[in-house]
A and B are shown apart, each in its own frame.
Chain A
């Protein structure tokens, strides 16, 4: 190693892509090996669904279909909020993100890798929910319904990833998991993900309009013809609006760090 070898300090396109791939791969290994994250994320939606969606409904297929959609929404929100929110807050608190930010890692790799990992977990959750629904209920969905539903739910995790990102950049490591649960669980309930929105009191039903999970669940329910009748464009617009707001918050939160 001579001291004056003039190494080429540029990255080829392939090396750039490789950074994103490696970051995603190790983010996935890190998450799937962490039982405190992976276990509740993958099993809770299934357990809740079996209890509320199947057993409590006396195996009613329509209720089981309805709740399959809403527990799907509940499921994809979990890894989005926790991987971004809690995961990031903890690594930030440890000082680990300082090491990463001092390295030439592109800032986007951190976000993109977590996005893919959340989506990977979403797929695992949807597979487990689908498996439970197929074996325990008399739900009948066409293949295209299953496909469209999966795409909606996996992509629908995006606004929650951005919300998680904002929380992860602003919360302290110790309080992050608690605060995220306090956002996640009430928001799920109030959006009608646990029990159908129509069974909630009137004033709560109108409040749900202001919550992003409600709109995602309406999109999912549209696929099986059980939605409340709002327009698709409207739901997508509102989800997009929330994504935009959370994105701006996330950018502001990350700027605040580097003062």
Chain B
């Protein structure tokens, strides 16, 4: 990543709540036009990290800077957009009213029509927020987060509650924003989202960065292969083969994780030539995620 394009960073970030560590010594850099995904289980520190970057939470030690300004300062806020998890929004305002109001908070708001187009809300401008489904609310929150033409956009679990179609169109919007030079930091549970959008993934566990790199690099760091086949036998029958890390039965299928795919597969097929429906697959992000966190 080109260092001269770095627009925000955190260094040695540490935060504890009542003596319980929430983040310890977290470093990250955000470069312009980059999508950074923060992955981690519940309680790994994702939301704490976002809140510190937004200046909504004070950190105990370390440095945070956005656009050479303090996190949460007015300068930083004007260049930043945030989509946070919200249970509900004021019900008696219409979509267009919410957007118009948020536009006026910024010196150079994004044009109204463009906000609508990015968020896919053209057909429901006059709808009251009371009448929106979960996914539509997420789209409105996304619209509000981009109202100010942000250079840096924080998305906390953006596609929660969205159907496949809205999810795809939001991913497209994120790619379009990225291509205009907007940097995006997103947290997600949804690994496919990180896989298809992120230039860099930061894997958090118990407040520590356990892995950092591109989606490909993270997948490659887990050199497991899954062999999957259909059989009536028990999973335990496959424990002893070459490089087997784990075996599990799900329905009629058995999944064997191995670090030595070719030897293991040869061994299994020699012992049980009648297996049906055999597939071999390199570990995806999900396996990597399970293993690392």
Contact = CB atoms under 8 A, between A and B. Distances in A.
A binds B: yes
A19 B180 CA distance: 27
B180 A3 contact: yes
A3 B102 contact: no
Given A7-B108, A104-B106, A96 B86 contact: yes
Which of B56, B77, B91, B92 lies at the interface centre, i.e. has the most chain A CB atoms within 10 A of its CB? B92
Dominant secondary structure at the B interface? loop
B77 A26 contact: no
A231 interface: no
A39 B101 CA distance: 25
A23 B106 CA distance: 13
A29 B96 CA distance: 13
Which of B56, B77, B91, B105 lies at the interface centre, i.e. has the most chain A CB atoms within 10 A of its CB? B105
A98 B54 CA distance: 10
Interface stretch (B141-149, B165-173, B255-263, B278-286): B141-149
Interface stretch (A8-16, A41-49, A75-83): A8-16
B84 A103 contact: no
A91 interface: yes
Interface residues of A, number: 34
Interface in B159-197: 180-182
B87 A94 contact: yes
B89 A96 contact: yes
Contacts of B75: 9
B133 interface: no
B88 interface: yes
Contacts of A9: 75, 78-79, 107-108
Contacts of A91: 90
Interface in B22-73: 32-33, 54, 56-58
B184 to A, nearest CB: 13
Interface in A94-133: 94-96, 98-99, 101-105
Given A4-B181, A22-B101, A99 B107 contact: no
A22 B104 CA distance: 8
Interface size class of B (residues with CB under 8 A): 35 or more
Contact of A15 (B80, B84, B104, B148): B104
B104 A104 contact: no
Interface in A202-233: none
A258 B57 CA distance: 6
A11 B109 CA distance: 11
Contact of A33 (B87, B92, B101, B141): B92
Interface of A: 1-4, 7-11, 15, 18-19, 22-23, 26, 29-31, 33-34, 91, 93-96, 98-99, 101-105, 258-259
Given A3-B182, A9-B79, 18 more contacts: A9-B75, A23-B101, A26-B97, A29-B92, A30-B92, A31-B92, A93-B87, A94-B86, A96-B86, A96-B88, A96-B89, A99-B86, A99-B144, A101-B56, A102-B56, A102-B84, A103-B77, A104-B105
* The 4 A-B residue pairs with the shortest CB-CB distance in the complex, in nearest-first order: A3-B181, A33-B92, A102-B82, A104-B77
Interface of B: 32-33, 54, 56-58, 74-75, 77-80, 82, 84-93, 97, 100-102, 104-108, 141, 144, 148-149, 154, 180-182
